[in-house]
């Protein structure tokens, strides 16, 4: 079920990026920009250690492989920057970096939990 939700949400994002940024349809562009800024803005929560501790198990056992998720995100950054949305591309790149750091911190947290048990 989680995999279906992942592909549904990222599919909506990918379709809105394609039709909004590449085909220049305004409604899709608005959706793509909203999802991009929302994702970049909410990645600030991953900077809090207490938040990472609460979702550590989800970060270590992702729905899809990390390489797939990062590849999709790099494609999103490329699309934004290529279409002159430099600030949004940079903010989304910030999201990728923060999420990678959060996954690394989650591995350390789960490792410490296993040592205590």
Q: What is the pTM of this model?
A: 0.88
How would you write 34-46 as a 3-class SS string?
Answer: HHHHHHHHHHHHH
Q: Specify if 54 maps to a domain.
A: yes
Q: Specify if 31 maps to a domain.
A: no
Q: Specify if 29 maps to a domain.
A: no
Q: Specify if 62 maps to a domain.
A: yes
Residue 32 has pLDDT above 90, yes or no: yes
Could you give the number of structural domains in the chain? 1
As given in the structure block, the two tokens for residue 47 are 């900077």
Cα distances from 68 to residues 6, 7, 65, 112, in angstroms, run: 12, 11, 5, 27
Q: Specify if 111 maps to a domain.
A: yes
State the residue range of the domain holding 88.
36-116
Average pLDDT over the chain reads: 92
Q: Are 76 and 93 a contacting pair, CB within 8 Å?
A: no
In whole angstroms, give the CA distance from residue 74 to residue 78.
6
- pLDDT (average), residues 2-20: 95
- pLDDT (average), residues 85-101: 95
Q: Specify if 22 maps to a domain.
A: no
Q: Specify if 108 maps to a domain.
A: yes
More confident residue, 102 or 80: 80
Q: Specify if 10 maps to a domain.
A: no
């Amino acid at each position: 079920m989680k995999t279906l939700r992942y592909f549904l949400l990222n599919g909506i994002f990918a379709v809105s990026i394609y039709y909004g940024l590449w085909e220049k349809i305004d409604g899709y562009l608005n959706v793509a920009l909203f999802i991009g800024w929302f994702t970049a803005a909410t990645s600030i929560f991953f900077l809090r250690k207490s938040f990472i501790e609460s979702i550590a198990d989800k970060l270590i056992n992702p729905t899809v492989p990390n390489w797939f998720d990062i590849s999709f995100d790099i494609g999103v950054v490329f699309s934004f920057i290529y279409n002159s949305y430099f600030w949004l591309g940079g903010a989304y790149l910030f999201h990728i970096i923060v999420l990678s750091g959060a996954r690394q911190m989650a591995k350390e947290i789960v490792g410490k939990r296993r040592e205590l048990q």
